[in-house]
Structure 1
Amino acid sequence: MRITADNERCIGAGQCVLTAPAVFDQDEDGLVTVLTTEPGAQLTDAIRRAGDLCPSRAITVHED
């Protein structure tokens, strides 16, 4: 699994940070920042949920 985030699409809702704080954060403008692009298997469900909850679809989860 690999994660990418598109700051051009991000609206700063913060659902990703609430759902998977070990993987996502927000920068000073409130836009998504990916803390780790290749997280461990224990975070898989939370990451998928964060991608699903993102209202602007700024988060992409790549199943490798």
Structure 2
Amino acid sequence: MKGYLIFDVDFYAFQVEKLLKQSKISHKITTIPREISSDCGIAIYIDDFSLVDLLLTNYNIPYKFKEIKN
């Protein structure tokens, strides 16, 4: 499942980016797309949500996920 991870605090986005790099999970740091939120902030685009969900649950990091349907 592809989509964007969105965080209430940018600190979490940078923390998650570090975890994703360490876990060798493909991702891309980007701004939150306007279609998702009018907030200016950081999002992380991922191709495989199932891997990331487990990782973030283990580290107790709060996030929202917005699936992108192709």
Shared fold per TM-score greater than 0.5: no
> What's the TM-score, normalizing by structure 1?
0.41
> What's the TM-score, normalizing by structure 2?
0.39
Structure number with greater Rg is 2
Q: Higher helix fraction: Structure 1 or Structure 2? A: 2
